[in-house]
Amino acid sequence: MKTDLWDAVVVGAGPAGLMSALTTAQGGLGVLLLDAQPGPGGQIWRGAAAGQKGAAGELLRAVATHPAITVLGGAEVIAAEAGGRTHTLTVTSAAGLRQIHASRIILATGATERFLPFDGWTLPGVVGAGGLQAMSKGGLDVRGRRVVVAGSGPLLLAVAAGLRHKGARVLAVAEQAGLPAVAAFGVAAARLPGKSREALALAAGLLGVPYWAGCAVVRASGQHGLQSVTLRRGRREVTLDCDYLAVGFGLVPDTRVAALLGCPLDGAGAVHVNAWQATGVSGVYAAGEVCGIGGVDGALLEGFVAGCAAGGQIERLHDAPRRAGLQRRFQATLERSFALRPAQLPTPSPRTIVCRCEDVRHGELRGFTDWTAAKLQTRCGMGACQGRVCGPATETLYGWHFGGVRAPLLPLPLAQLLDEPTTLSPP
């Protein structure tokens, strides 16, 4: 098989990936930037156009017009292998399977939402908070729809404001963290440049929407689809009739490709990096929320640092490590403030489905002591999502370590597996 070597491949075209691709290319390297989504932008800039005003439009335009950057959308890394000098990624796309080789890889795979099971969570109308946001950015008409936003983290506010902007009726934002913790986060955020303006804009967008801190999701109810959600505030239960429950309990770094490459993780389950965003595997860097949840500004900064390091332009860093230090402190406050509190989390009943791909229920799982034993005996995590949804849930529910990452990361058509992978050459 012919092998083609790229100078650098960036996996993930969100803010971190876009910035690192641009910075690496400015160092004179040829860069392949690939993403599973059809277009670049990642979660926060999904659907943004290169021509539009603001930071997203500028960065997208700079990447799209840089002659040393090739952007490949609809291309998902499903296997990865670290070599001595050259690493190999296997990528699936409409064109079939491809093998891509590079001496430098920057992982910017972002994060996914953490879902926790409760009675009724599989009803149509119960969706991830960021997921509903993404669907509305993608064209779902939410005008006049009654939405309850629940779970934990500042993303709930961004989602609520975004949905309201699109015409939804947001009935309440229910946050599991207590009010003092949320207030501490607000103070820390206000100290970061630009954040107080962002917070004011969010507050203006949510004027009149009740924000209930210390509030737990109890159940979602409905016959064939969601009709109401019951929340617990203190000792009182409140039931709200609604069309959507947008729910998510924070974000989980998407470390699957990093795990296949053998990159060590830190204690919080994010990719461990040094001050130059280098992972424990030579030639592999990581940036953005795959290294810890910290928002778009941190993702851009880390993308810049990773691009400077991968492209050999350390002199461009100036005070970036100092700013990255500030971001990391903000990240730590975020983590502390929205730490999940068992008493405020949904309590599944024995019949609640935990693994929805394989229909495995809480009652079948709670007797096991670890992920592997549960998986072998119940098929939990062996369905289409390969544990991407139920893995983090079982960590929170049962304290297991979810270590089930194996290639291929998603089910593939047999025809693709039977074909000899083609290679993708630099221009």
Which residues sit at the interface with ligand FAD, rule CB under 6 A?
A: 11-17, 34-37, 42-44, 76-77, 108-113, 130-131, 133-134, 155, 158, 162, 251, 254, 257, 288-289, 295-296, 299
Q: Is residue 88 within 8 Å of residue 5, measured between CB atoms?
A: no
Task: Report DSSP state, residue 182.
Answer: H
Question: Residue 67 phi/psi, 5° resolution?
Answer: -65, -20
Encoded tokens for 273? 């990096």
Q: Give the CA angle between residues 252, 253, 255 to the nearest 5°.
A: 130
Find the shortest distance in angstroms from Cβ 120 to ligand FAD.
Answer: 21
Query: Between residues 109 and 394, which has the closer beta carbon with respect to ligand FAD?
Result: 109
Residue 151, phi-psi category: left (phi > 0), alpha (psi -120 to 50), beta (remainder): left
- Quick one: 44 or 229, whose CB is closer to ligand FAD? 44
Tokens 């399977």 sit on residue: 97
State how far the Cα of 32 lies from the Cα of 89, in Å rounded to an integer: 12
Closest CB 42 distance from ligand FAD, rounded Å? 2
Give min distance, CB of 17 to ligand FAD, in A: 5
Minimum Å gap between C-beta 78 and ligand FAD is: 7
Kindly state the smallest distance separating residue 92's Cβ from ligand FAD, in Å: 9
Please, which residue, 173 or 365, has the CB nearer to ligand FAD? 173
Closest to ligand FAD by CB, 36 vs 68, is 36
> Shortest Cβ distance from residue 274 to ligand FAD (Å)?
18
Question: In degrees, to the nearest 5, what angle opens at C-alpha 238 toward C-alphas 235 and 244?
Answer: 140
Output 110 or 214, the one with its CB closest to ligand FAD: 110
HEC string of 93-155 equals: ECCEEEEEEEEEEEECCCEEECCCCCECCCCCCEEEHHHHHHHHHCCCCCCCCEEEEEEECCH
Closer residue to ligand FAD in complex, CB, 276/398: 276
